[in-house]
Amino acid sequence: MYSKDAPDVVHKWYMDACREAKLNTVTPSEEGRKAIGKVGDLFIINADNLKQKLSIVLVRNPKDRGTIISISWALK
């Protein structure tokens, strides 16, 4: 999927949606993102509840500064 919005905007939207759906979320720390050199360009959200697990990866598109969105979903 794709969004014209910047990755930080898309990240906030998905975090809010996960919280509203009562999913537990885990994201890498800023230090972890600094270690791979992608602060502001890469966001990862791992979310789950008793029945399902999601992994959401957001990467800045270098061509137009929008966001490439990848979502993996599985039942537990």
**pLDDT tens track of the chain, all 76 residues?**
999 999 999 999 999 999 999 999 999 877 877 787 667 789 999 999 999 999 999 999 999 999 999 999 999 9
CB-count burial class (<10 Å; 0-12, 13-18, 19+) for 44: middle
Confidence at residue 17, expressed as pLDDT on a 0 to 100 scale:
98
Domain carrying residue 36 = 2-75
Q: In the chain, count H helices and then E strands.
A: 2, 5
Confidence at residue 36, expressed as pLDDT on a 0 to 100 scale:
74
Confidence at residue 69, expressed as pLDDT on a 0 to 100 scale:
99
User: How many independent structural domains does the chain possess?
Assistant: 1
Amino acid at the residue 40:
G
**Can you give the pTM of this predicted structure?**
0.88
Confidence at residue 62, expressed as pLDDT on a 0 to 100 scale:
92
Q: How many residues does the chain have?
A: 76
